[in-house]
Structure 1
Amino acid sequence: MTKVLVYPLFSLLILFCVESCFIPHSHYIFTPQSIPAGYQLMKVETVDCDPDTLHLTVEDPSFAVQSNGIIVAVSPVSVATRGRTFSVRAQDKSGTGSEMEVHLVCSAKRQTNKNGQDVLKRTKRHWGPPPLNILENDVGPFPKDMERIVSDSDVDFDVFYTAEGKGVNEFPFGVFSLDKDTGLLRVHKTIDREINPKFILKINALDKITQEKGDEPLFLEIIVDDVNDNNPELEGSLNFSVDEQTANMVVGKVNATDKDDSKTDHVKIKYILKDGLEHFAINPDTGVITTVSNTLDRETKDKHMVTVEIRDLKGAPNGLSNTATATITLNDINDNPPTFRETSFKATTPENKEEEHLILRIPVDDKDLNTTDNWVSKFVITKGNENGYFRIDTDPEINEGLLYVTKPLDYEKTKNIELMISAQNEAELKGTTAQWLSVPVNVAVTDIDEGPEFLAPTVTFTVDENLRNGTIIGTYKAIDPETKSSDGNM
């Protein structure tokens, strides 16, 4: 049975477009079963790290990192057949840092071949082949060496290698190639992780003489590591509304997406409000906008335009960003009572008019939103209408009060009536200390000449019989209602 192994090359890919100190996510090293002190494992290759502030650390006390980045064993180490793993961390003044898992693979034990000679025989692994990592957006120059694929059969047989799958003989074609003689895997093109996050290659080792294929081909996974190459994007509507004069109220939520790897800080977005801070605030983690004061007045300014910035890398200065304008419309509340255009009003009405009639229009102003219950006036006669001579309505078109006389008034009994009229709204007042306002209305009753009135509707006289013509039998008096006199009214 042919077994295929992966030998790492210590010359790693040159990475580009990395926003902070970076080392590969993982690395596999084939080692002896017993590693002596002073044994050099590998050199840590860093990208975009500041050499003056770079600090490399190893979590396993059996190993140390020298100043040149080489990892060495500080004491003898035994590697079990199942392997050994430790982590290496790189960090510089950028503060972000990167971590790599180093996997030690026990590579060989002594056996004899068919000719009785001692050979170094690979031990069979009990797990799948380790994945390779490659960074997206590498601009070359190409081709670049990645790893060397070596079969166990190389020890006893002369083999050649084939590779197939996506990136080789399937779309996208020609991304990778495998040298059939050396097993060297190369990359030939720039890779976009957002289109191809990983590749799985099927690799076979075939005997050059018999061209027989091993029973177990190697399915090699190549993971494309993300770089921060996608600006976050705002999604959904940025039109919000909130009641005026309200503090600590939720205005709405800004939503954002990022096409980069969801497991990285490349998609960790911070929300920033660039203006309008005297009225609004935004939660940097959730994007929820709230009001911060109760001074928002729709009657002064009914719309506010605020600039929202979204920035990935948790808002770091080197993160990618986008901005957009959010429109916040203030909803009207009834914080303005109707106001009278005059401090007092006068009206006249003739006495004794039978039919109901309009005697006065009372104009008012209201700053609240037209045609809403916050604007529509409701008039109330609060004083002077105890006898029910009046009623008041609202003109639905122009929102004026309409004062009517509903039954006849008598000038001789009442020449003037003082009314007090309050202007209110359909909705209750809210968000203000103002009160409903009232105005005095003087109604003058005008006189109509009605003629004299008899003092008594019926008079009885006693008359003797046989009186001469012209004899006065009594008097029947009438009175003028305006003068209250009976002179000349008999």
Structure 2
Amino acid sequence: MAPAAPRLVLGLLVLSLCCDACKKVIFLVPSALEAGTLVGRVNLNECLQSAELISSSDGNFKVLEDGSVYTTSAVSLSDEERTFTIVLKDIQEHVEKKIQVSLVTDEKKTQAQKTRQARDTVLKRTKRRWGPIPSVMMENSLGPFPLQIQQVQSDTAQNYTIYYSASGPGIDQDPKGLFYIERETGNIFATRAVDREQYPSFQIICFASTPDGYSPEVPLVHTIRIEDDNDNAPYFTQEVFEFCVPENSKPGVIVGTVTAEDRDEPLTLHTLLRYRIVSQNPPIIPAFSLHGETGVISVLSPQLDRELVSTYTLLIEVRDMGGQPFGLCTTGTAIIKIEDTNDNAPTFKQIQYETQVEENRVNVEILRVSVVDLDELGAPGSTAVYEIIRGNDDRSFEITTDRNTNEGILCVVKGLDYEGAKQRILVIAVNNEAPYMLAPHSQQVVQSTSTVIVNVLDVDEGPVFKPCFFRMDASECDEVGTSIGKYLAEDPETGNSEGICYKIAPGQCNWINIDEKSGEVRTIRALDRDLGEMKRGQCNITVLAIDRNGKTGTGTLQVVIQPCNRNFPRILKTDYIMCRDRKPICLTAEDGDISSYSMPFVYRVTDRNLASSWKITRHNEKSVYLSPRGDIPFGIYTIPVTVSDKSGKQGVTQITVNYCNCVIPSECERMSYASSSVTLGVWAILAMILGSLLLLLILITICGCCGSGVMRRHVTDDCANHNLIISNTEAPGEEVMDHNIIPLQNTADQVGCGIKTGDQQTFEMVKGRGHTLESVRGGGHQTLGSVKEGGGGQPVMDTCRYSYSEWHNFTHPRLGEKVHLCRQDEEQKHSEDYLLTYNYEGKGSLAGSVGCCSDQHEEEALDFLDQLEPKFRTLAETCVKR
């Protein structure tokens, strides 16, 4: 505190001009203030007594709890006033109040103040008494009280009257009234004993001030330390310490650590603890050691055997003062459990057992065996695992462990045969689930075994099929009643099949039967792998065998139908038409047998005479081509063709070929139809006449609408368009013939045409002249110009258009031939777009046909076929065969 003396010598004159609570406070101060200079004191309690937070708005000034205001750094004041605010807050009540502080410089100080400042400046001290060393008070002191523990004095007491006061914990804060300071002397007293563990130290603030309120000293923070007394004994952190350690552990293995604490002052003798083992239960050779400083327990004895001692109890002491006898001590308990290890092998209670069981019994318990194991019951080291090590080659027995009793349960899992063996001898061994962990210097563990004698009891048994599952093969070609084998059973007692009857259980396949006495299996139906329940080609039959005593045995018979070559190849299509292009005919045969008995097929012409005229060419394994060897006349030929399968089974099929002078096969069919005679009845002829008259009347009426004259009418090209009637037909038929459309034929005078006769003629009249499609098909190559006359002998002028018959007789055979030739692909297959015949549209029409091909290089130019009018294009699109 020595540096504060010069600052105090400045002769601060502190004057509180306004001491009213929460009002402005004015301090008269020098113009220069050093850091740590007391500016004055404000009565905070009168403003807000419950203030919890005290702060200053100016960081150059700090405010203490008693209201003293100090500078935190050097401050220079000008002639103007400097102000800041002290903020008081009560957090719980949410109350905040402010005190405004103004600092004013006054160069005209009173003479007394100047004199006081001068004295303080001249005064010299060599030792400060305002900052004594911290006070010490013994814990649990016996007094007498009040007990003086320290005195504080201000050096300025030599010049002024100084009063002392203090605040802080132990004075005006909890624990209140423990200390107080004398106002005149500065002596600090304690009023009662103190517990250091509750209050290790106190920090109080001491104040020195003159009667007029001047504070020549900075408030002193004084520490009162309570000196520790060894009044607390150490204590363990747990009431009982529990540890585990495996048996047969080596010396030095750490078991665990015990810990204790002491409430006395740390790092003193009062808290310097030492541990030791007081006693061990059971009181045999010491098994554990305890480290005195750390409290670590470790194994001492090399012979920890759980089977001898399973638990140790240690009484442990902890003492302070470094373990000195005068130190305080406490005892605790440590329980150490010895964990089991598998150091004992199980042993059978009996070395031999004997039991019995009836033959053919399955999944039945026949014996229980037990063992003795010194290891902990229920632990993996004592759980027994049994196994049959000898006498169970056929896996007829099985042994398991009963978890509740640790016994071995011996069961029969496969029926025993008395006739095969009347007695079985088994050797059973036992082990543990956990591996063995032998104690040091112990002998090797020997596996314990026991012998079990099983006597098999004889029982009257039913017949037994040998084998119990038997397969027989039957052929598709077998006839009804064919024997396919025998399925026999034996009597286990006699070893033969005498007196055994056989039956097939109901609901089995109905195409097999078994003889009741002989066991012979026969077919009772024709076998067909593709028929009904035979489709899969096999069935499993349960066969019953019954002996004289009514005992029944069962066996399974699997009958499999093997395929055979029961079908010969057949050619399905036998009638063909061959046109003059002599395109080969494709013959295809079918065989109902599987592939191994069918393809490849071999074809040949059976008749030698026809074989010289017709040849067969292979196409693939299934098909061949039939074609003539040279020029043969038109006609119908019946050719016998033999087809053989892979295994040589063959059949003959008669193939009929109509070799026709046609372009397409359908044309040959029409020729055949036209050549056939048709006889009409009287009513049919009458109906046709009436229909023709009615149609003629309608056509004359329509034609009358197209012209302007009465006797002489001109039929223009547009009139032909009215002969087409829109229909709801959405697609053409298979073939459009010219006689299905009856157009109007007018041979009267037309525009640009002059004919000698003025009569009007219909299409029916023209047809009556003999110019039909059929009459001109075989007429050879002729030009349209060569047809000069109609059937009636009337000449036709060269300047006029040709009649429908003349045009049709010339164009139809040529267009058909050209279409047939030009619409073939590389394989000589016809396109679907053949020549389609339409009705005559009148001489005024520019379009003679709407077919897909045109004979444009003939004498008559037919370029107009490429420039059809819209209605004719619609007709062409509708009638084209798709």
TM-score interval (norm. to shorter): 0.5 to 0.7
Give the structure 2 partner of residue 259 of structure 1. 263
Matched, 1:298 2:306: yes
* Cα pair 2:232 2:262 within 8 Å, conserved: yes
**In the aligned structure 2, how far is the partner of 1:366 from the partner of 1:227?**
60
Give the structure 2 partner of residue 221 of structure 1. 223
TM-score normalised per structure 1: 0.62
CA deviation digits over 1:233-262, x for unaligned, max 9? 222462222223323333222222221112
Q: Which region of structure 1 is more displaced relative to structure 2, 133-142 or 265-274?
A: 265-274
After TM superposition, give the deviation of residue 185 of structure 1 in Å: 2.2
Give the structure 1 partner of residue 143 of structure 2. 140
**In the aligned structure 2, how far is the partner of 1:268 from the partner of 1:448?**
87
- 1:256 is matched by which residue type in structure 2? A
Give the structure 2 partner of residue 401 of structure 1. 408
* Cα pair 1:149 1:184 within 8 Å, conserved: yes
291, 304, 315: which one aligns with 1:307 = 315
**In the aligned structure 2, how far is the partner of 1:435 from the partner of 1:144?**
81
- 1:353 is matched by which residue type in structure 2? N
Matched, 1:149 2:163: no
* Cα pair 1:151 1:205 within 8 Å, conserved: yes
- 1:138 is matched by which residue type in structure 2? S
311, 315, 318: which one aligns with 2:326 = 318
**In the aligned structure 1, how far is the partner of 2:293 from the partner of 2:304?**
25
207, 226, 231: which one aligns with 2:233 = 231
387, 391, 413: which one aligns with 1:380 = 387
After TM superposition, give the deviation of residue 196 of structure 1 in Å: 0.9
CA deviation digits over 1:158-179, x for unaligned, max 9? 3232222212222212222322
- 2:327 is matched by which residue type in structure 1? G
After TM superposition, give the deviation of residue 412 of structure 1 in Å: 6.3
Matches within 5 A, 1:233-382: 233-236=235-238, 238-247=241-250, 248-276=252-280, 278-350=286-358, 352-382=359-389
- 1:377 is matched by which residue type in structure 2? A
* Cα pair 2:2 2:128 within 8 Å, conserved: no
Give the structure 2 partner of residue 443 of structure 1. 453
- 1:323 is matched by which residue type in structure 2? T
Structure 1 residues 456 and 342, CA gap change in structure 2 (3 angstroms):
closer
State the number of aligned residues: 347
After TM superposition, give the deviation of residue 119 of structure 1 in Å: 7.6
Give the structure 2 partner of residue 390 of structure 1. 397
**In the aligned structure 1, how far is the partner of 2:361 from the partner of 2:353?**
24
SS in structure 1 of the partner of residue 176 of structure 2: coil
162, 165, 188: which one aligns with 1:162 = 165
- 1:212 is matched by which residue type in structure 2? Y
* Cα pair 1:409 1:445 within 8 Å, conserved: no
Q: Which region of structure 1 is more displaced relative to structure 2, 239-248 or 225-234?
A: 239-248
* Cα pair 1:204 1:214 within 8 Å, conserved: no
* Cα pair 2:152 2:186 within 8 Å, conserved: yes
After TM superposition, give the deviation of residue 206 of structure 1 in Å: 2.3
TM-score normalised per structure 2: 0.36
Matches within 5 A, 1:60-99: none
After TM superposition, give the deviation of residue 453 of structure 1 in Å: 7.0
SS in structure 2 of the partner of residue 157 of structure 1: coil
**In the aligned structure 1, how far is the partner of 2:362 from the partner of 2:454?**
17
* Cα pair 1:244 1:294 within 8 Å, conserved: no
Give the structure 1 partner of residue 196 of structure 2. 193
CA deviation digits over 1:367-416, x for unaligned, max 9? 33333322221101223333434321112221111223344555666555
* Cα pair 1:249 1:291 within 8 Å, conserved: yes
**In the aligned structure 1, how far is the partner of 2:386 from the partner of 2:325?**
61
**In the aligned structure 2, how far is the partner of 1:354 from the partner of 1:179?**
111
CA deviation digits over 1:185-233, x for unaligned, max 9? 22221111111111112112222x4342234021111111111111112
- 2:175 is matched by which residue type in structure 1? P
SS in structure 2 of the partner of residue 154 of structure 1: helix
Matched, 1:204 2:207: yes
**In the aligned structure 1, how far is the partner of 2:352 from the partner of 2:325?**
65
* Cα pair 2:351 2:451 within 8 Å, conserved: no
Matches within 5 A, 1:4-15: none
Higher helix proportion (structure 1 or 2): 2
**In the aligned structure 1, how far is the partner of 2:346 from the partner of 2:223?**
75
**In the aligned structure 1, how far is the partner of 2:394 from the partner of 2:259?**
64
Q: Which region of structure 1 is more displaced relative to structure 2, 414-423 or 441-450?
A: 441-450
* Cα pair 1:4 1:149 within 8 Å, conserved: no
- 1:295 is matched by which residue type in structure 2? Q
- 2:448 is matched by which residue type in structure 1? S
Structure 1 residues 271 and 449, CA gap change in structure 2 (3 angstroms):
closer
CA deviation digits over 1:119-142, x for unaligned, max 9? 8724469x9752122221111222
Higher strand proportion (structure 1 or 2): 1
**In the aligned structure 1, how far is the partner of 2:321 from the partner of 2:134?**
26
After TM superposition, give the deviation of residue 447 of structure 1 in Å: 6.0
* Cα pair 1:137 1:191 within 8 Å, conserved: yes
**In the aligned structure 1, how far is the partner of 2:459 from the partner of 2:217?**
129
- 1:260 is matched by which residue type in structure 2? D
**In the aligned structure 2, how far is the partner of 1:137 from the partner of 1:186?**
15
- 1:227 is matched by which residue type in structure 2? D
- 2:236 is matched by which residue type in structure 1? L
Unaligned runs of 5+ in 2: 6-116, 461-490, 499-882
Give the structure 2 partner of residue 47 of structure 1. none
* Cα pair 2:208 2:217 within 8 Å, conserved: no
- 2:183 is matched by which residue type in structure 1? K
**Percent identity (aligned):** 31
* Cα pair 2:416 2:456 within 8 Å, conserved: no
**In the aligned structure 1, how far is the partner of 2:492 from the partner of 2:273?**
95
SS in structure 2 of the partner of residue 266 of structure 1: helix
After TM superposition, give the deviation of residue 317 of structure 1 in Å: 1.9
SS in structure 2 of the partner of residue 153 of structure 1: helix
After TM superposition, give the deviation of residue 301 of structure 1 in Å: 3.4
**In the aligned structure 2, how far is the partner of 1:444 from the partner of 1:115?**
128
- 2:447 is matched by which residue type in structure 1? L
**In the aligned structure 1, how far is the partner of 2:177 from the partner of 2:493?**
122
**In the aligned structure 1, how far is the partner of 2:344 from the partner of 2:257?**
30
Matched, 1:184 2:195: no
**In the aligned structure 2, how far is the partner of 1:453 from the partner of 1:216?**
126
SS in structure 1 of the partner of residue 153 of structure 2: strand
**In the aligned structure 2, how far is the partner of 1:198 from the partner of 1:435?**
70
**In the aligned structure 1, how far is the partner of 2:154 from the partner of 2:492?**
137
* Cα pair 1:420 1:441 within 8 Å, conserved: yes
Matched, 1:423 2:426: no
**In the aligned structure 2, how far is the partner of 1:452 from the partner of 1:232?**
89
Q: Which region of structure 1 is more displaced relative to structure 2, 250-259 or 391-400?
A: 250-259
* Cα pair 1:414 1:445 within 8 Å, conserved: no
RMSD over aligned Cα atoms: 3.5
Give the structure 2 partner of residue 78 of structure 1. none
